[in-house]
Every structure is written in structure tokens, then in C-alpha cells.
Structure 1
Amino acid sequence: MESESNMSDHGLRYLANCSMLFTERPLLERPHAAKQAGFDAIEFWWPWPDQPVPGDAEVGAFVAAVRDAGVQLVGLNFFAGDLAGADCGVLSIPDRAGQFRDNIDVAIGIGEQLEVSAFNALYGNRVEGTPPQVQDELGREQLGLAAKAAAGIGSTILVESVSGPKPYPLRTAADSVAVVEAVRADGHANIGFLCDLFHLANNGDPVAEAIAAHADVTAHVQIADWPGRGEPGAGELDLDGLLADLAARGYDGWVGLEYKPTTTTEASLAWLPEPRRGNHG
């Protein structure tokens, strides 16, 4: 369905998540597709879901695709395993934690080349045989390592609450913010909350209350309508009002469009006039 354009201009900057949008194209063609659609900035999940350390040629091709498209890569996920599987979020899974550490240098290296300002570090699913507190200690340690590396290029680490059937422990905004504050207390100031409005709504966390309580530690925002995770206007979430509240509370960062188009990517963007897709912030 094409959504009516009823979203106000709050002065917030929108970017395209090219792991969810423009999937009609091969991955390396999506930055150019985003640029053609009017976007100046994009974000990606980790482009190689099976490889924490891809080869130099693969990394080089990805970097070139972003540069050649003339868009800014604002956000990049660290390697997180199979996002739909039991190993989602290798960061705090003891048997997989080494993969996250190996991935840090690669991800930050891409970030240094492309001036990435934020890296999403997905927490790990709960696993049998390991006490939750052990996973949490490992998670804080790993996030600290990532934050230290990101600080070297002036970037921020993000912690996100996620929905779905997997045993992911950070469900509410308060869950993620508690992790952020613990890592900050360990001396890493460059870590913040990734406020994904869809995931919060899908988990039953009162989104307006979460924004009111945690706008000050929100470092990045992602949106999709709820239910269904479609484009704004495809569901029932008051995205316009929620974004207005974020802006009123001082959030002036990016809003990532991380939704599943109900038809095509082009049709799903009808709610956002092309002049507002560029970096006017």
C-alpha cells in the first residue's frame, strides 16, 4: 500500500536502512539506489552475516560501492551471527564471543574509511548452560572493547532492544539503557541507546513513556510502523507524534528507515517527499 504523506517535518534527518530497503537490488547496488531515491545517508546491518572477518576484496568492494554512490554510511552493525537464529548477537555468547572481538577491527576499519559515526552492537541471546549474569558480564566487557575501538575514530556504540521469539534479553528501553549506563560507568562515554520504535511497541513497552524517560541517552532512532513492521502509515503507531516528542526533548540525530516495504521500496516511500530525504539537518 502507498502511505499518505502525513508526517510532519520535525527537522530530523532520515536515512535509508539498505538491509531492509532497496532489497530489489543486489546489496552492492543499494547505496546507489538510495542515492537515486534522494537519500544522502544510509545504514547497513553487517553485510556478511556468515563472516565476522570477510576478505579484503569483499570489504574493498563494499567500501567502493558506498563511496561511488556518494552517500554517507552513518550506521553499521557489528557481526551478530544469524539474526533469526539461536546465535543472534554473538557479543555475549561465550562460545561465539571471539568472533565479535575479531570483528571489531574489521568493522572499525570500514568505519574509519567511510566515517561511520555509529556501530550497532547487538546483545546476545540467552544460551543454556551459562548463567545470565555471566553473559551480562561478558556483554559489558565486549561493549567496552568496542567502545574503546570506536572512540579512536570518534564514533559511538549503540545498544538496542529487540523483539521476536528469540531469547534476546534486552526487551524494554530500560533494559538497554541499564546496559548503556553500566558500560558508561566503566569509563566509556561513547555508548548510547538505539531507540527502535517498532521493537519497543512490538514488545509492549509504552513507547511514549520510554522516550520521555530515555531521550537523553538516545543516540540513534529507527522506525517502522506497528504491527507488521511496514512503512509509516501501514500500521497503527503514531510515528509522527513520537518523532515530534523526541525532537522536542532535544534529539537531533538520524532516523533510520528500518521497515519492510509492503509493496516496493519506491512505493513505500510515498509518505516522505523526496526533498526531505536529503541531509537538510
Structure 2
Amino acid sequence: MPRFAANLSMLFNEVPFLDRFERASQAGFEAVEFLFPYGLEASEIQERLETHGLKLVLHNLPAGDWDAGERGIACLPGRVDEFRAGVAKGVAYAKALGVGQLNCLAGKAPPDMDEALLRRTFVANLRYAAAELRKAGLKLLIEPINTFDIPGFYLNRTAQAVAILDEVGAGNAYVQYDIYHAQRMEGELAATLQKYLPRIAHVQLADNPGRNEPGTGEINYSFLFAHLDRLGYEGWVGCEYKPATTTDAGLGWCCQHLVTEATAV
């Protein structure tokens, strides 16, 4: 059975962010992830991780002005200096918090901008980021995101991500495979996971439609969890979904799968 990490940017959001660590621990999670740590001192987050016995498995590099609708700047010409400063900041937080991998959001492609220029910018930025993260012993991840939820998002398919990583040529750069985004853009979840598993370092989940917890939509998560086991996936699965009601009320899916696994053993 995969190991599940609570995404604190979306789960337990009925309480303030720093209180979500305790709630995640009480719910049985051993690990957490979230979008960004940068609005807090690393020491504040580390104290919560230590107090509640949690491991931080992922956060993102800085991604521009999030509140203004930006969703990454890595593909944007003219923002390279800002991107590089964000890499340094992300690495500093990662080292302080003991996280081993950082996700880089590509960003939204500006209308009418040359695709070749966007790709060259993205590849060059990824090469820089991968080299800086490698010095710190970190993995760099890139995440395809569906263009229904984020119109214009530059990186939106698994094969595209792998091709870009081939061009980057960094041994510490991988795909972050979000099952929800992949289902919306391309389907073929089981076959894609099998084909690209060596290139995937982190998996996230949500059901579709609605981006709610597993069991609320069309995705057969019982099959996919068993499939990941058969493939030998050893990473974490981040629970990055919007609870249909409250987080605690929607955690039955997780308990059900853990009970099923324990019974099978």
C-alpha cells in the first residue's frame, strides 16, 4: 500500500496552517507536504514537524505572485533572475526543513509568445535549478497540470515533461505525477505510470470530477494503489484534494485502503 502524505495546503483547512500539523498527525498521517513555506520562518514549521512526529516530503520552489494568479515563472523569459533567487530560497528552506525534493511549477504561457522561446527558457532554468539542488543533495521535480483548471499552463502532459527532462539531462530531475491532472489531460493512468515510473519521484492524488477525495469520482483508486505496489513504487503519495465536506469526514477512503491492506497481509 502506498504511503500517504497529507497536503496541508488543502487538507484540514478549517484551522490555521500551523495547527494543521497536529490534525494531520491525529488523523494518522506520518508525512505532510504543502505548496509553499515562505510566509513563515523555517523554525516555526520545523517545530511543528518535530512536535507531531511528521516528515515533510515536498514543497514548491517560489512561483511568482500566487495571489495575483501566477502559477510559476520557470518558462517565462524576463523572469530568470527572479527564478534563480527563488531557487536559492527554496534550497535554504529545504535544508532547514529536511525535505529531499522541490517541485518547480512551469507557469502559464503568455498568449502569442513563441513556444520555442518558452521551452528554451524552461529548459535553461531547469538545468540551473537541477545543478543547484544537486549541490544540496536534492531532487528537482516538474509537474504537468491540466489546462482546464489553469488555462495556458505550459507543462500539461507526462510525455512532454519527460521529453523536457531528457533535454535538461540532469540525473536528479524527475516528474511529479498528479493523478487528477493526468486524468483530465490524458487518461491512460495505469499504462502511463508503468511506462514512466523510473522518471517519477512523487505522486499526488484527487478524484475527478471535483478534485475531491478518492471514491467521489470516476478514478478506480483501489486498482491504482495495487498497481503502484505491483510496479514497486516506493515514494510518497500526496493527498492533494479538496475535501467534499470536512477533511476528517472524508478520510474513510484512506482508512478503508489501509484496513484492506492489513487484512490481505
**TM-score scaled by length of structure 1:** 0.84
Deviation at 1:43, TM superposition (A): 0.6
Shift in Å at residue 209 of structure 1?
Answer: 2.5
Q: Tell me the equivalent position of 1:152.
A: 135
Contact 1:172 1:205 in 2 (8 A): no
Tell me by how many angstroms 1:206 deviates.
2.1
Q: Which residue of 2 aligns with 1:39?
A: 29
Provide the residue aligned with 1:20 in structure 2: 10
Q: Is the 8 A contact 2:100 2:138 kept in 1?
A: yes
- Is the Cα–Cα contact under 8 Å of residues 38 and 274 in structure 1 kept in the other structure? no
Q: Who is 1:205 aligned against?
A: 187
**Alignment pair present for 1:235 and 2:217:** yes
Distance (Å, rounded) in 1 between the aligned partners of 2:153 and 2:68? 11
1:76 maps to 2:59: yes
Distance across 2 between alignment mates of 1:181 and 1:84: 32
* Partner of residue 113 from structure 2, selected from 119, 130, 134: 130
Supply the distance in 1 between the matched residues of 2:53 and 2:159 (Cα, whole angstroms): 37
Q: Which of residues 150, 166, 170 in structure 2 aligns to 1:181?
A: 166
**Structure 1: which 5+ residue stretches go unaligned?**
1-9, 49-53
Aligned to 2:78: 95
Q: 1:75 to 1:96 in 2, by over 3 A?
A: same
8 Å Cα contact 1:119/1:155 also seen in 2:
yes
Separation in structure 2 between the aligned mates of residue 218 and residue 153 of structure 1, nearest angstrom: 20
Q: Identify which of 143, 153, 164 aligns with 2:126.
A: 143
1:131-155, CA deviations, whole angstroms, 9 ceiling, x for partnerless residues?
1111211111111222122222322
Give distance in 1, aligned partners of 2:218 and 2:239. Answer: 16
Task: Report the CA distance shift for 1:161/1:209 in structure 2 as closer, same or farther (over 3 A).
Answer: same
Equivalent pairs, count: 258
For the residue of structure 2 that corresponds to 1:252, the secondary structure is coil
Cα deviation, residue 80, structure 1: 1.3
Once the two structures are TM-superposed, the CA of residue 75 in structure 1 deviates from its matched residue by: 0.5
- CA contact 1:218–1:251 (8 Å) conserved in 2: no
**Counterpart of 1:194 in 2: which secondary structure?**
strand
- Taking the aligned partners of 2:96 and 2:189, their CA distance within structure 1 comes to 35
The residue aligned with 2:246 is 264
In structure 2, C-alpha distance between the alignment counterparts of 1:41 and 1:239, rounded to whole Å = 20
Where does residue 214 of structure 1 map in the other structure? Answer: 196
Question: How many angstroms apart in 2 are the aligned matches of 1:148 and 1:162?
Answer: 24
Q: Which has the higher contact order (CA 8 A, sep 6+)?
A: 1
* Paired residues of 2:42 and 2:96 also in contact (CA < 8 A): no
The question of whether the paired residues in 1 share the 8 Å contact of 2:5 and 2:31 is answered with: yes
Tell me what 2:19 maps to: 29
Asked whether the 8 Å contact 1:224–1:258 carries over to 2, the reply is yes
Instruction: Report how far residue 23 of structure 1 moved.
Output: 0.7
Looking at secondary structure, tell me which structure has more helix per residue: 2
Residue deviations 1:162-205, cap 9 Å, x none? Answer: 01242012222111111222222xxx200111111100111133
Give aligned-pair identity as a percent: 33
* Alpha-carbon distance in structure 2 between the residues aligned to 1:211 and 1:256: 16
Paired amino acid for 1:137: R
In 2: Cα distance, 1:208 partner to 1:274 partner: 21
Letter in 2 for 1:36: Q
Q: SS at 1:273's partner residue? A: helix
